[in-house]
Amino acid sequence: MKIVACVKQVPDTEAEVKWDIPGGKLKRDAMDCVTNAFDEYAIEEALLTRENHDGEIVAISMGPEKAMDVLRNCLALTVNEVKLCTDAAFEGSDTFATASVLAAAIKKVGDVDIVYCGKQSTDGNTGVVGAALASILGWSQLTYVSKIRSIDGAGKKIVVERAIEGGTEVVEAKLPAVVSVLKGINEPRLPNLMGIRKASKMEIPQWNAADLGVDTGKVGTAGASTKVVEIAVPPPRGAGEILKGEIEDMANTLTDKLIDLKVIK
Amino acid sequence: MANDVWVYIEHKEGAVTPMSFELLGIGKTLADGFGSNLCAFVVGEGIDAIAKEAGTYGASKVFAVDAGVFKGFRADAYAKATAFLFDKYKPEVALFRATSQGTDIAAAAAAQLGSGICSDAIGLAVDGGKLKMTKAAFGGNYTVTVVNEKSQPQIATVRPKAFAMPEQDASKSAEVVKESFVVDEASLNTKVLEFIKSAVAINLVEADIIVSGGRGLGNAEGFDLLKELAEVIGGGVGASRAAVDSGWITVDQQVGQTGKTVKPKIYIACGISGAIQHLAGMRTSDCIVAINKDPDAPIFKAATFGIVGDYKQVVPKLIEKFKGKLGK
């Protein structure tokens, strides 16, 4: 079985955000970066699938050269291969362009059965790249997956649970499939020291637009259909009121104020 | 003149809630801004009643793709029907709710048309003939506004409850246009085997009231007290990541960056310090109440009302007062 895990390098949520304001994008190089939290579940699910069904894992990331760090972490976690899709022309890509580049990379890997992605990134928060990827490839689109029930590699079938509004949907789908996973699907493991040491010496293969056969006019800033026109800091919430007095009095005041909102019936 | 503004009406095997129609409110504002019409579209089986109901919420025309193959929601089937409609009618703007269903179709249909989308929009406005779409980034610490000058329609998914519900007016009706579009079952990749209803009755994303707990609760039993308060005031129960990772409550109740984004009218945070990752998921709530022992907890900066105190003493008092005042 051939498994792909898509991973993204994102700014650490604790780090100071640095913008290139006129360019409408992030200064990614100037920020502390980590593996997108949701992608850790995607990598772990790929590892679990390999343990249960054999096969090999290729971890793919699109990003600047610095994104090598997240792929090195994948190697430390013992994925078989990594590919960094990097090209100046990819910079400023929107959701469709990003999915197009990843789709090209997945096709180049060839004979892939399952692609795992995280539900969304913690920087752009779009949560649509997995679905767009499935649509471009014409593969099964399995989003919000909270559990893999079974995978039948020979019969080319997968059964998953999707945690959606109001409950859990059990879906059977054809392989190949793009599966985007939620927090809670597994407990991501940490790399061990030997893995880290080994990974630190490995080369990270890179694919540029030409390697992938991607039309540079259709990706990056040139191809993006959405353009950033403004970046702003939302107005702070008005100063709140800290209630004073005995608990009895504070509870009395608070319940009055909340009942006055006419929301509680 | 700009083309029409379209709103996708979501349903679950023919069942709708008033929230299914919520985007017809902002849709009307945008259509007025463009000087065009507000239209709705529905995909499903036996959806006449839904199409008619969309008229009572302000749609002037409703496009309906009605066939057996669309009985239950399937992303690939619904996205194909949507892409067909977009290609045939070329709407100016198409809005979907940023739910699992809305996001699934919007993403797939946009990809089929070769365009990007703005997802989870919290602001939408027509400015100089262009649609400006605003979304939160980095945990809501920034807002990013984008325009889409290349693709038609300009597609956005919209955060539930970001805009006011439209008024329903039973005297209004829409022209229903039926489209005979089908997809071949054999060409579809997925089949829904079953739906297991959640034991938790309240969907946090649509809840008007949420009582949430964090690390400060100290143990899983703390949530029993929060559940009691939630029950008295008709709310759902949420949690911070710390509480979920401690195993005190299930992950589907997590609010924040790696959980759900919620926008209730009242959000009561108990024993939650207010880390940036939690604020990301709830800072746009209308009224935030913070109950925390630590007067320096960052949650107080986001709170509308704050009580510095131990939730074990404060929450039972609130339950008692609410019960008395609400006659429960």
Partners of residue A242 in chain B, C-beta under 8 Å:
295, 300, 305-308
Q: Which of A132, A243, A251 sits opposite B107 (nearest CB)?
A: A132
Q: State pTM to two decimals.
A: 0.91
Give kind and range of the element (H or E) at residue B126: strand B118-127
**What tens digit of pLDDT does each residue of A205-214 get?**
999 999 999 9
CB contact under 8 A, A131 and B195: no
Task: Say how many domains are in chain B.
Answer: 2
SS3 state of residue B136 = strand
CB contact under 8 A, B251 and A182: yes
Whether B218 and B181 share a structural domain:
no
**What tens digit of pLDDT does each residue of B48-81 get?**
999 999 999 999 999 999 999 999 999 999 999 9
Q: What percent of chain A has pLDDT over 70?
A: 94
Q: Which residues 6+ apart lie within 8 Å of A205 measured at CB?
A: A81, A82, A83, A84
Taking the C-alpha atoms of residue A98 and residue B240, their distance in angstroms, rounded to an integer, is 31
- Ranking A25-39, A100-114, A240-254 by mean pLDDT, the lowest is A25-39
Whether B131 and B173 share a structural domain:
yes
Domain's final residue, options B187, B218, B252:
B187
Whether B133 and B221 share a structural domain:
no
pLDDT at A12: 81
Q: Is residue B41 in a domain?
A: yes
pLDDT at B194: 95
Whether B174 contacts B51, CB under 8 Å: yes
Calculate the CA A105 to chain-centre distance.
16
**What tens digit of pLDDT does each residue of B142-169 get?**
889 999 988 889 999 999 999 999 999 9
Q: Is residue B202 in a domain?
A: no
Confidence of residue A157 (pLDDT cuts 50, 70, 90): very high
A62: phi then psi, degrees, rounded to nearest 5: -115, 130
* Mean pLDDT score of chain B: 94
Partners of residue A37 in chain B, C-beta under 8 Å:
257-258
Q: Which of B100, B313, B326 sits opposite A165 (nearest CB)?
A: B100
Specify the CATH number for the domain of residue B218: 3.40.50.1220
Taking the C-alpha atoms of residue A232 and residue A242, their distance in angstroms, rounded to an integer, is 28
Taking the C-alpha atoms of residue A38 and residue B251, their distance in angstroms, rounded to an integer, is 13
**What letter does residue A29 receive in the DSSP assignment?**
G
Closest CA to B70 of B94, B91, B97, B101: B101
ipTM of the modeled complex: 0.90
In B276-305, the residues whose Cβ lies within 8 Å of chain A are 276-277, 283, 286-290, 295, 300-305
Domain's final residue, options B187, B222, B237:
B187
CB contact under 8 A, B322 and A38: no
Closest CA to B246 of B224, B283, B221, B269: B221
Taking the C-alpha atoms of residue A196 and residue A9, their distance in angstroms, rounded to an integer, is 18
CB contact under 8 A, A96 and B287: no
B70 to chain A nearest CA, in Å? 15
Query: How far from A114 is each of A28, A43, A145, A216, B70, CA to CA, in Å?
Result: 29, 12, 13, 27, 26
pLDDT at B141: 75
Class of the domain covering A2-223: alpha beta
**Residue B234 sits at the chain A interface (C-beta within 8 Å):** yes
Specify the CATH number for the domain of residue B38: 3.40.50.620
Whether B104 and B245 share a structural domain:
no
Confidence of residue A17 (pLDDT cuts 50, 70, 90): low
Whether B125 and B226 share a structural domain:
no
Whether B15 and B84 share a structural domain:
yes
- Domain of residue B139 covers 5-187
pLDDT at A237: 80
pLDDT at A15: 65
Whether B139 and B233 share a structural domain:
no
Whether B71 and B109 share a structural domain:
yes
Whether B91 and B153 share a structural domain:
yes
Q: Does residue A100 register a pLDDT over 90?
A: yes
A242 to chain B nearest CA, in Å? 4
